[in-house]
Amino acid sequence: MTLLEVSGLNVFHGDLQAIFDLDLRVGEGEVVALVGANGAGKTTMMRALVGLIASKQGRIRFDGAEISAASAEDIARAGLCMVPEGRMLFDSLTVLENLMMGQVLRRRGYWTLERVFELFPILAERRSAMPRHLSGGQQQMVAIGRALICNPRLLLCDEISLGLAPLMVEQIYAAFAQIGKQGTALVLVEQDVKRASAAADRLYCLLKGRISLETAAGAVRVEDLTRAYFGA
Amino acid sequence: MAWIETVVNGLLLGGLYGLIGIGLALVFGVMRVVDGAQGEFMVMAAFFAVIVLAAAPDLHPLIIFGLAILFSFCVGYVYQSWIVNRSMQSSDPLAPLLLTFGVSIILRSVMVEVFGADLRGLQLGSLSRASIAIFNINIGVMPLLTLATSIALFLLLQWMLKRTSFGRIIRATADRRDIVRLFGVKPDRVYACVMAMSVALSAIAGLFLAARASFTPFSGVERLLIAFEVVVLGGIGSFWGPLIGGLALGVTQLVGLKWDPNAGLLYCHLLFFIMILIRPSGLVASRS
């Protein structure tokens, strides 16, 4: 079953076009990696999907409904959620309050505060701390937990590992295995190809706003990927 | 003893000044918008009360106050959703400032047109003149009530922002207005609610002011000036700042007046000016 189907998507930043004629598909419960160099348009693409960028053309179908003209609020309500690049925590809210923002959507399901605290025990310990007093990895856990409590059908994770210590990245990717078990589909946006393809079922590579490669994650050939990533 | 009485009365007046600033501070804190029309909203609430009082003289003052606050709450909601939200979409931070000042000029002119430029007062009967003596100091009941209301409203607002889920949504929206949308929050609607609360708070200040001294449609300008001074003096972005700033201004004004009866608000403006020079961050250092 296809959960997300994007066809012929064009996204604009003012007069500049950032995404060209893009097709992309994510199945129910599937883990998809979206890799690409800096400036390839990955973040723009994610922000367009969740409705934060309105200037776009093309079709986006999510869970059977057309959402290309829907507001970010309605898209979230439908269960398409995002862990934004740079974590984007609410700085004047405590860890607990940040997580509770995920409850505002009232999408019930497996993920609750308790389950998130089980997944990331350190957050339970630091629930009253302000985000700026956390390490980068802990902040990322808050951002992931906050999105999980929305109980998304599909979770877009934008540059989760950026700027984190390798050990921390290990821990966070271990959590993704558990998240996937609940049937949540995932899109992992990464610059780190190895990391992303190890966790994913399928892989897309984005180059200058276009899909340059689509393949099963296990069957990636290095020379193909190098060409798709850097351009020839 | 007379000086102590002056300081005490200054503090009571300061409570009112704090209340004048709180609406402006709330809107600025959440939306980063300086609302130039808050002064007119204070005057408008007072006119509303005067009209209701003239139409139904037997109504209890509390009911009249309640109606005026409810009216202001609705005005604030509509004002934000129809007008200010539109200008906030502009990337120019000056746009909402200019717009709200424009609104203030229009409101002022409309009030002159409808009510005339005569001095008005809000007569609350014996309550206006009642006083009690504490330690040989005569304290007006009305000013005491004003300070108590002011502190109660500050506490209530603080509780609402810190402890309720709506307060949490307001703070999150103030932090990141785009990211809250990923959690189903419509920032425009949050802003409309915040503006409604802000105009309602300003209405309370406007009603107390009107009960204290007469006003005209032009009084909004000086009320806004006090609101500005209170907010900046207290420290922009700090929660208790407006109350502290208001108390400082109130004491300064009355002590100044006692020492120099012709001074008016001169010493308040001087205090404000000096503070801007030596401590622009305000009396209460901001955390954010």
> What is the ipTM for the molecules in this complex?
0.93
pLDDT at B286 over 80: no
Instruction: Round to whole Å and give the CA distance between B223 and B229.
Output: 10
Residue B249 has pLDDT above 50, yes or no: yes
B188: exposed, middle or buried (C-beta count within 10 Å: 0-12, 13-18, 19+)?
Answer: middle
* CATH number of the domain to which B234 belongs: 1.10.3470
Q: Are B229 and B268 in contact, with CB atoms under 8 Å apart?
A: yes
In a domain, B110, yes or no: yes
Distance of alpha carbon B171 from alpha carbon A52, whole angstroms: 20
Are A153 and A145 in contact by the 8 Å Cβ rule? The answer is no
Question: What's A127's DSSP letter?
Answer: T
| Fold entry, domain A2-230 | Rossmann fold (3.40.50)
> How near does any CA of chain B get to the CA of A169, in Å?
23
Contacts of A194 (CB under 8 A, 6+ apart): none
| CA atoms of A170 and A205, how far apart (whole Å) | 22
Average pLDDT of span B10-39:
94
- The reply to whether residue B182 touches residue A93, judged by beta carbons under 8 angstroms, is no
Domain count, chain B: 1
pLDDT at B179: 97
Q: Which residues have CB under 8 Å from A113's CB, separation 6+?
A: A96, A99, A100, A103, A149
Tokens 């032009």 locate to: B218
Residues 6+ apart with CB under 8 A from A183: A28, A29
Tokens of A99: 């997580």
Predicted confidence at residue B41, as pLDDT, reads 97
User: Does any domain span residue B288?
Assistant: no
Numbered residues of chain B with Cβ closer than 8 Å to any chain A Cβ: 165, 168-169, 171-172, 174-176, 178-186, 288
- Tell me the residue type at A168: M
**A61, burial (CB in 10 Å: exposed 0-12, middle 13-18, buried 19+):** middle
What are the structure tokens assigned to B198, written together? 């802000």
- Using alpha carbons, list the distances in angstroms from residue A224 to A38, A193, A214: 19, 13, 10
pLDDT digits (tens, 9 = 90+) for A93-103: 999 999 999 99
Domain assignment of residue B228, given as a range: 2-278
Q: Kindly list the residues from chain A whose CB atom is less than 8 angstroms away from the CB atom of residue B180.
A: 90, 101
For residue B285, the model assigns a pLDDT of 63
A45 and chain B in contact, CB less than 8 A: no
Cα-based torsion angle of the residue sequence B182, B188, B193, B195 in order, rounded to the nearest 10 degrees: 140
Tell me A6's DSSP state.
E
pLDDT score of B288 more than 50: no
One-letter identity of residue B246: G
Rounded average pLDDT over B218-241: 89
**B78 in a structural domain:** yes
What does the DSSP 8-state code read for residue B81?
A: I
Q: Where are the domains of chain A?
A: 2-230
Identify whether B284 is part of a domain: no
The region of weakest confidence among A106-120, A123-137, A193-207, B39-53 is A193-207
* Interface touch A72/B182, C-beta < 8 Å: yes
The amino acid present at B58, given as its one-letter code, is D
Decide if B171 and A105 are in contact by the 8 Å CB cutoff.
Answer: no
Query: A66-70, A225-229, B181-185: which has the minimum mean pLDDT?
Result: A225-229
Q: From CA B20, how far away is CA B246, in angstroms rounded?
A: 8
Q: In angstroms, what separates the C-alpha of B177 from chain A's closest C-alpha?
A: 10
Instruction: Please state the rounded mean pLDDT for residues A199-203.
Output: 92
Residue among A92, A97, A150 whose CB faces B183 most closely: A150
Report the pLDDT value the prediction gives residue A69, as an integer from 0 to 100: 94
- Share of residues in chain B with pLDDT > 90 (%): 70
Task: Report CA torsion sign: B258, B264, B268, B270.
Answer: negative
What stretch of H or E contains B288? none
Amino acid at residue number B36: G
With CA atoms as reference, the chain A residue closest to B181 would be A73
